[in-house]
Amino acid sequence: MLKPEFLISRRQLLSIGAAGVTGTALPCFQRPVVAGSHPATARAKSVLIVMLSGGPSQLDTLDPKPEAPLEVRGEFSAISTAIPSVAVCEHLPRLASTLDRWAIVRSMAHKEHNHLLATHIALTGRPTPIPRGGSDLDRVESRNDFPNFAAALDFIRPATSGIPTGVSLPNYLIEGPLTWPGQHAGFLGTRHDPWQINHDPNDPAFQVDSLSLPKDIPGQRLVSRRQLLDQLNLNDSQLKADTRAVAFGEQQDVAFSLLTSARVAEAFRIDQEPEDCRARYGRNKFGQSLLLSRRLLEAGIPVVQATMGIVQTWDTHVDNWGRLKNTLLPQLDLGLAALMEDLQRTGLLDQTMVIVMGEFGRTPRVSTLPGQSVPGRDHWAHAYSALFAGAGIRGGQIVGETDAIAAWPVSRSWTPADVGTTIFHALGVPDDAAVLDPLNRPNHLLNGEVITPLFTGA
């Protein structure tokens, strides 16, 4: 008979290591397949998506219109940058002085003004599926969603050696009963979900408990227990037929891989960074999230997503200029400057694509909500801006142009599908890579066009 010390339940194994892994819904009934017969040359080994949830104003950040009327241009002035004849907001001085490292796409556009639906578009490059009879106003996360970029990459190139394909931090986009779609693997199943960190890296007590074994369970014992668990599962025909058990087993696989990866565990030891380095990024949740993201990139994680603040932080219907001036823009400016300095110094910038974007922009005209006295700007997806750098992107250029009030592109517009296609292309994903959705329809992952001016010059 086996000794009790070598027995471990399926639930125990999962709880040891998967506390940070989200997603418990059923996988799709039809296992998707992928095609990829035309390999692409990879420009990048990794991608960092800096998500500005809520949608920053293009006029008050990267596409100011100083000649526009006050009710359009707002309260901020524009300052010159390292690119001749190009200006940005006065509260982004570090970005302005190093803009030769960045490319700004000013003609981002799509048609969705709802936060949840626009976030799915931004993180997957796809419209959000709306269930029959459902309303787009209450559309939340679902296992019918299209996989986000990290999850789709993990399906194409499954994670090995305990290094997850994707990590998102520092919080899941959820508010009350609403969970933002586009944050996980959708119909690909829980196995491919990005690993989710829900803890402030600026917290002195920050640690990822799910990467640490209990003191009474050394690594070799965990391996022995895992082998035993695999043998038990192999002989259990009922488990094989139970879709919930399959999803549960997939989460076990993720948990075990993470527990046995010293590189990942070491990357999360942000307390090992010198204090002067931590201060350069800003001693706040966003700055330390960027620092942690840099460490994860150094550990070899292909796709990292860092969200600034919490859900809808940039949703400035009220006090747009106060919130931008006093908190959001200074933290963004400081954190990005430190990140770019370190990526360039270590050579990581050559192989890492950095994208800074929200799910949309904000209205050209200032407005005041009913019952409010401090003005702001509302949602606007018809024209907004995004930053790109690294992995062969030519810095010091502006891609696209908007009209005199930053309301509409007057040059070619680019969509989140084009951003996703650019990401996959840069990572060397084959042009014909595709998956089957729950309705058995093929979906090409590269469903837009590569934003070629980023690499060739506008």
- Look up the CATH number of the domain holding residue 425: 3.40.720.10
Coil, helix or strand at residue 267: helix
Query: What's the whole-number mean pLDDT along residues 332-341?
Result: 98
Which helix (H) or strand (E) segment holds residue 352: the answer is strand 352-357
**In this structure, is residue 253 part of a structural domain?**
no
Indicate the residue type of 69: P
Domain count, the chain: 1
Query: Does position 37 have pLDDT exceeding 80, yes or no?
Result: no
- Is 96 among the domain residues? yes
The model's pLDDT over 103-148, given as tens digits with 9 standing for 90+, comes to 999 999 999 999 999 999 999 999 988 766 666 555 889 999 999 9
Range of the domain at 316: 31-208+268-456
- Rg (the chain; Cα; Å): 22
How would you list the strands of the sheet with 397-399, edge to edge? Answer: 195-196, 166-169, 303-307, 46-51, 352-357, 384-389, 103-108, 397-399
> Judging by beta carbons within 10 Å of its beta carbon (0-12, 13-18, 19+), is residue 458 exposed, middle or buried?
middle
pLDDT at 301: 95
Give the pairing of strands 352-357 and 384-389: antiparallel
User: Which residues does 219 contact at the CB level (< 8 Å), separation at least 6?
Assistant: 213, 259, 260
In a domain, 92, yes or no: yes
> Considering Cα of 59, then 65, then 66, then 69, what sign does the dihedral take?
negative
Which value, to the nearest 10 degrees, does the dihedral of the CA atoms of residues 279, 282, 283, 288 take? -100
* Segment among 18-32, 283-297, 443-457 with least mean pLDDT: 18-32
304: in domain: yes
Query: Which uninterrupted H or E stretch holds 330?
Result: helix 329-346
Name every residue whose Cβ is closer than 8 Å to that of residue 118 and which is 6 or more positions away in sequence: 55, 110, 112, 359, 360, 379, 381
Residue 429 has what pLDDT?
A: 95
> Which residues on adjacent β-strands are paired with residue 384?
108
Residue-wise pLDDT for 255-313, tens only, equals: 555 555 678 889 999 999 999 999 999 999 999 999 999 999 999 999 999 999 788 89
Q: Which amino acid is at 261?
A: S
375 falls within a domain: yes
Cα–Cα dist 145/215, whole Å = 39
- pLDDT at residue 227 above 70? no
Q: Establish if 256 belongs to a structural domain.
A: no
- Tell me the pLDDT band of 9, cut-offs 50, 70 and 90: very low
Has residue 199 been placed in a domain? yes
Residues 6+ apart with CB under 8 A from 44: 351, 352, 353, 390, 391, 392, 426, 427
Cis bond upstream, residue 32 (ω within 30)? no
Q: Is 134 a domain residue?
A: yes
Round to whole Å and give the CA distance between 452 and 458.
8
